[in-house]
Amino acid sequence: MASRNISVSETSRPKLPRHTRLKFDETRQVWVILAPERVLAPDEIAVEVLHLCDGVRSVGQMVDQLAEKYAAPREAIATDVIAMLQDLADKGFLTEARESTA
Amino acid sequence: MTDTLAGNKTTAVGPTDGLAVLEQTRSAAETYGIPLAVLLEVTHRCPLQCPYCSNPVELDRGSTELTTEEWKKVLSELAELGVLQVHFSGGEPTARKDIVELVQHATDVGLYSNLITSAVLLTRDRLSALADAGLSHVQISFQGNEPNVADRVAGLKDAHRKKLEVAKWTRELDMPLTVNAVMHRQNLHQLPDIIQMAVDLDADRLEVANVQYYGWALKNRAALMPTVAQIEETSRIVEEAQARLKGTLAIDYVVPDYYALRPKKCMGGWGRQFFNISPAGKVLPCHAAESITGLEFESVRSNHSIAWIWQNSEAFNRYRGTGWMPEPCKSCEFREVDYGGCRCQAFALTGDAGNTDPACALSPRHEEIFKQAEQESAGTQNRFLYRNFAGGTLETDQLQEEPQDKSHGA
């Protein structure tokens, strides 16, 4: 039994778990995350971060990328991104890339 | 949807509240935007005979079911309308020979698909075929944590062992798993073990759903109704487990509305955020709606589109919004919080679907119904009336003169 309880840090390599799907809803013109019995409506920035969550990139690399793009203080971006990803992880919408199929 | 990264920038909601988030720029009450998730009851046939089955007492026979092509057309139409998720349910959805084909079609048109199953008919090959067809999620019902209670409630020998096996295959095939446990007086004592069972099965999610008393469950209320003490203990166990298993197992808890003071916002309000399609193709505001006599429900076999039925049909508009409400709902400050509770329950318990749901403490019938339920919960009537196509079969342990088993197939 593998715990899905992840603690997000700069070294985490998060990705969306298999049961979720990030999709652009053409009817409502918003991005949604689909999960069993739930639909999540992430805002634009969350969507941008989620697109970076491919299970390969580390959170640190994402933060570098965003800090450069928005010319914003790295520390502030890191705090916000980690908080947002941890919130998603706690709700079961984010997992961590595993070494192999456990 | 705020624009800041800090704080709570995402909002997780159940399908019934999804529109509140996704369509907050418009008034959902005015537009009745199409639901995010639709329940497809593809058949009423089922090898299980659970006494609390949510299907109507009058079941649709196999011969009336929509054909493969008709279901495919429904799926395409739903996707075009903007529906995002479909739940393949029943009855037992895998009792349909074409279930893999239907799941494949849902995937092809871009729908997220969920299989709500009793699991007992599945082989590993068939489950694997469903995974290959793009099935997004599997939900398996459990009637207890061990065969003695579970197989008796299901009315099927060897059901529990089979369910455990399929749950294991589900995870081996890397599909996400929800364990659904319907709780009542005769299995609530197993709740801590059921929670542990879900953890051991590596489930992502556990639904602890207290029985809702319509249809079959209402017929079995005396055998199922939990005591107040049991409910208090249940809430305590669930809260403790939710905290302990945070991040490992998500636990959703459906409370029994008989012991509440306020009614549930059933279906998010009639015709507001939810519809389901019955085996024969009726488009319904809730899966129990056909129990309300005097309402005509349109079918996908009619000349009308699903969108037209949702927006314009008499049945959907009958109890939509707040205009239909009598007192005490009409002037109640909570009228748009709970929309008067459940229409099916109001009909079943008062004979008029337009009455306030007696689960509400403000209903003139609340006191009387609560007292009756409380008395039943303390009683010793534990015998089940099993669900089947013959109108139900009484459990035959204790008495012999009761109707003997009749075929429960279609």
Check whether B217 has a pLDDT greater than 90: yes
Instruction: State the number of CA atoms in the 13 A half-sphere of B142 facing the CB.
Output: 34
A36·B204 Cβ contact <8 A: yes
Q: What is the CATH number of the domain that holds A19?
A: 1.10.10.1150
How many contacts does A have with B, using Cβ atoms within 8 A?
A: 128
The mean pLDDT of B326-335, rounded to a whole number, is: 93
pTM of the model: 0.85
Best of A38, A40, A81 to disrupt the B interface (most B CBs within 10 Å) is A38
Contact B154, B48 (CB under 8 A): yes
Check whether B88 has a pLDDT greater than 60: yes
| A5 occurs within a structural domain | no
| A4 occurs within a structural domain | no
| A87 occurs within a structural domain | yes
How much is the pLDDT for B49?
Answer: 96
The nearest CA of chain B is from the CA of A35 a distance in Å of 8
CB-based burial, B383-406: b 16+ in 10 Å, e otherwise: bbbbbbbeebbbbeeeeeeeeeee
Give the mean pLDDT of chain B.
87
B6·A34 Cβ contact <8 A: no
pLDDT bracket for residue A28 (50, 70, 90): confident
Sheet architecture: strand order including B276-277: B250-254, B205-210, B177-183, B137-142, B112-117, B85-89, B37-41, B276-277, B283-284
Contacts of B183 (CB under 8 A, 6+ apart): B191, B208, B209, B210, B211, B226, B234
The mean pLDDT of B285-289, rounded to a whole number, is: 92
- In chain B, residues 98-127 whose CB comes closer than 8 Å to chain A: 110, 112, 114
**Domain count within chain A:** 1
CA distance B215 to B218: 5
| A58 occurs within a structural domain | yes
Domain that holds residue A66: 14-93
Range of weakest confidence among B262-266, B276-280, B384-388: B262-266
Q: Which residues of A touch B (CB under 8 A)?
A: 1-6, 17-19, 21, 23, 25-28, 30, 32-34, 36-46, 77, 79-81, 83-84, 87-93, 101
Token pair of B41, please? 């009851």
Check whether B177 has a pLDDT greater than 80: yes
Token pair of A57, please? 């990139």
Check whether B9 has a pLDDT greater than 70: no
How much is the pLDDT for B90?
Answer: 92
How much is the pLDDT for B22?
Answer: 42
Question: Which parts of B23-98 fold into alpha helices (H)?
Answer: 28-31, 68-81
| A9 occurs within a structural domain | no
B341-386 confidence digits (pLDDT tens): 999 999 999 999 999 999 999 999 999 888 888 899 998 899 999 9
Among the partner-chain residues B3, B37, B178, the one whose CB lies closest to the CB of A43 is B3
